[in-house]
Amino acid sequence: MAQRPVPDVVVRRLTQYYRALLSCRDRGLEVVSSQMLGEMLNVTAAQIRKDLSYFGGFGKQGIGYNVANLLEHLKRILGLTETWPMALIGIGNLGQALLHYRGFAREGFEIVALFDSDPHKVGQIITGLTVHADQQIPQLIPQLEIKIALLSIPTEKAQEAADMLIQAGVQAILNYAPVTLRVPEDVWVRQMDPLAALESMTFYLAAAKETP
Amino acid sequence: MAQRPVPDVVVRRLTQYYRALLSCRDRGLEVVSSQMLGEMLNVTAAQIRKDLSYFGGFGKQGIGYNVANLLEHLKRILGLTETWPMALIGIGNLGQALLHYRGFAREGFEIVALFDSDPHKVGQIITGLTVHADQQIPQLIPQLEIKIALLSIPTEKAQEAADMLIQAGVQAILNYAPVTLRVPEDVWVRQMDPLAALESMTFYLAAAKETP
DNA sequence: TAGATTGTTAATCGATTAACAATC
DNA sequence: TAGATTGTTAATCGATTAACAATC
């Protein structure tokens, strides 16, 4: 599909475009220009056109982009035409919040297996799913054809869990533990780290204080 | 402090270095080289030295960096020597998980005020904090000198809440709603968006499927 | 001293922006 | 047709990497 290699920054922006287009659609817009899209997302119009051009020409000169059409293309490009079964590792406060989050399902992501290392939690049924022991990972992940895992466990246990998951066939990890996981290069990891995000903002707040 | 303007990517990496150094300290390491740090974080040694050089020379040739010393410097640079009172807007599943998250306190972040628009929730006391109505924002934010807000409310309400918060003095927002907030340029926003993170990974998984 | 590692400069690489012909 | 907007190329900008003198 993509001829030139697509930079990761572009892929990340693609998800933004997709979001913005969904919102355009919901507001009844049929056509949108790169200019408009850019204003919604604080991105230049040229950036958007360049990014999209990695995948083809989806717009019409003088007109812009058909919202439904571009949405369809991005959906396919981002792999959102299929459904993605996911495993949730760690059923603490955060894990439970993820379990109840409705957003995943809307884009075809579904948590289909729960794992926890706490014997008190194993066997419990939450939102219709049984909590399995970590030891079940090697068996259940391949069986359920799970390629994506949500990792919401304590930092110390994250690497070990990641190793097991990858061994069992997981190729993408959404990591909530504040640690850099060591993974093979064909495995994808995205870090979800509120503390790091906060710290990168206090840098500016503290700097602004010093030089008012 | 910083002479040249510091690129945002550098600031974000600084938080990683800080994390890695904490882990070094906890393992009893007294000295660490840029090489070692780089291996922990999948970053080149040159990158780390360059990044740190924005702020000064913290290492010793032939030796490396004193862990405690560099930690102290980064702590100051990232503004983590002060404590940051925060407001939590939206007390749903995610909000409650954030409320129970212990990581914040360790770096001086403390949720000191809760807000929700649901009349059923207003007045409730959770972990010792009263849930306030959104209308209280203009009064309480300045009073408690809150500069940081955690936004965990539905997408539709996010912009309006952000406007109120900023009006009341908030300068940094950790936004869990999947929408690009329009904010003045002296206000910082970081997006926490698990769905976008997942979608940027399924891009690669789907692409790999096509070209095995 | 010899070996190691920093801080910094210069070279490279890659991403963003500007500009414009093509065309709806 | 005139006006608008795309897709793409070339120019610019900025970030990363390599290399090495300084020095612990």
The per-residue pLDDT for range A150-184, each reduced to its tens digit, is 999 999 999 999 999 999 999 999 999 999 999 99
Provide, in whole angstroms, the distance separating residue B38's CA from nucleotide D19's C1'. 18
pLDDT given at position A3: 61
Neighbouring C-beta atoms of residue B107, cutoff 10 Å: 21
Q: At what angle do helices A8-26 and A34-41 cross, to 10 degrees?
A: 100
Q: What is the average pLDDT across A34-54?
A: 98
Length of chain A in terms of residues written: 212
pLDDT of residue A212: 60
- Which of B94, B180, B201 lies nearest to residue A41, judging by beta carbons? B180
Residues of A in contact with B107 (CB under 8 A): 195, 198-199
B9 φ, ψ (degrees, to nearest 5): -60, -35
Q: Spell out which residues of B between 47 and 106 contact strand C, using CB within 7 Å.
A: 49-50, 52-53, 57-65
Could you tell me the distance in Å between the CA of residue A42 and the C1' of nucleotide C6? 39
Give the residue range(s) of CATH 3.40.50.720 domains in chain B.
84-196
* Cα distances (Å, whole numbers) of residue B94 to A21, A124, A127, A190, B88: 26, 21, 16, 19, 11
As a dihedral over the C-alpha atoms of residue B199, residue B204, residue B205, residue B206, rounded to 10 degrees, the angle is 90
Domain A8-77 has CATH 1.10.10.10: yes
Question: 10 Å Cβ neighbour count for A51?
Answer: 20
CB contact under 8 A, A107 and B195: yes
CB nearest to A201's CB, from B172, B194, B207: B172
**Beta-carbon contacts of residue B148 (< 8 Å; ≥ 6 apart):** A198, A201, A202, A205, B84, B85, B86, B87, B109, B170, B171, B172, B173, B174
Report chain A residues whose CB lies below 8 A from the CB of B192: 192, 194, 197
Per-residue pLDDT, averaged over A181-193, amounts to 97
Nearest to residue B203, comparing CAs of A184, A66, A172, A57? Answer: A172
User: Is the pLDDT at B211 greater than 80, yes or no?
Assistant: no
The CATH 1.10.10.10 portion of chain B extends over 8-77
User: What mean pLDDT comes out for the span B66-90?
Assistant: 98
DSSP SS3 for A89: strand
A54 CB contacts (<8 Å, ≥6 apart)?
A2, A4, A6, A10
Question: SS3 of A126, please?
Answer: strand
Distance, CA of A62 to C1' of D1, in Å:
14
Tell whether A125 is within 8 A of chain B (Cβ).
no
Distance CA B21, CA B112 (A): 29
List chain D nucleotides near protein: any atom < 7 Å from a Cβ.
Answer: 2-9, 14-19, 21-24
Task: Report the C-alpha gap between A165 and A138 in whole angstroms.
Answer: 7
Q: How confident is the model at residue B1 (pLDDT cuts 50, 70, 90)?
A: very low
What is residue B4's predicted lDDT score, i.e. its pLDDT?
78
Contact A4, A54 (CB under 8 A): yes
SS3 A141: helix
Rounded mean pLDDT, A14-27 = 98
What 3-state DSSP class applies to B82?
coil
Which tens digits make up the pLDDT trace of A112-135? 999 999 999 999 999 999 999 999
Chain A contact present for B210, CB below 8 A: yes
- CB-CB under 8 Å, A205 with B147: yes
Q: Is the pLDDT of residue A197 over 50?
A: yes
pLDDT at residue number B199: 98
State percent of chain B over pLDDT 90: 96
Q: B-contacting residues of A 10-49, CB under 8 Å?
A: 11-12, 14-16, 18-20, 23, 40-42
- d(CA B108, CA B148) in angstroms, rounded, equals 12
pTM exceeds cut of 0.95: yes
Distance B51 CA to C24 C1' (A): 48
- Which amino acid appears at position B15 of this protein? T
Nearest alpha-carbon partner for A92 in A115, A125, A123? A115
pLDDT band at B78, cuts 50/70/90?
very high
* Count of C-beta atoms within a 10 Å radius of residue B53: 12
Q: For B171, list phi and psi in degrees, rounded to 5.
A: -115, -10
HSE of A111, CA atoms in CB hemisphere, 13 A: 27
DSSP symbols for A164-206: HHHHTT--EEEE-SSS-----TTSEEEE--HHHHHHHHHHHHH
Contacts of B22 (CB under 8 A, 6+ apart): B71
The CATH topology of domain A84-196 is Rossmann fold (3.40.50)
Strand pairing report for A31-32 and B172-175 = unpaired
Q: How many CA atoms lie within 13 A of B119 on its CB side?
A: 0
- Band the pLDDT of B212: cuts 50, 70, 90: low
Segment B108-112 mean pLDDT: 98
Q: Look over chain A and give the mean of its residue pLDDT values, rounded to a whole number.
A: 96
What are the residue ranges of helices labelled H in B101-193? Answer: 103-106, 137-143, 155-167
- What is the pLDDT, as a whole number, of residue B3? 61
Is residue A1 predicted with pLDDT exceeding 50?
A: no
Instruction: Give the model confidence (pLDDT) of B22-39 as tens digits.
Output: 999 999 999 999 999 999
Q: Which two tokens stand for residue A149?
A: 């895992």
Q: Taking a C-beta distance cutoff of 8 angstroms, is the pair A160, A181 a contact?
A: no
Tell which residue, B52, B50, B21, has the closest CA to residue B36.
Answer: B21
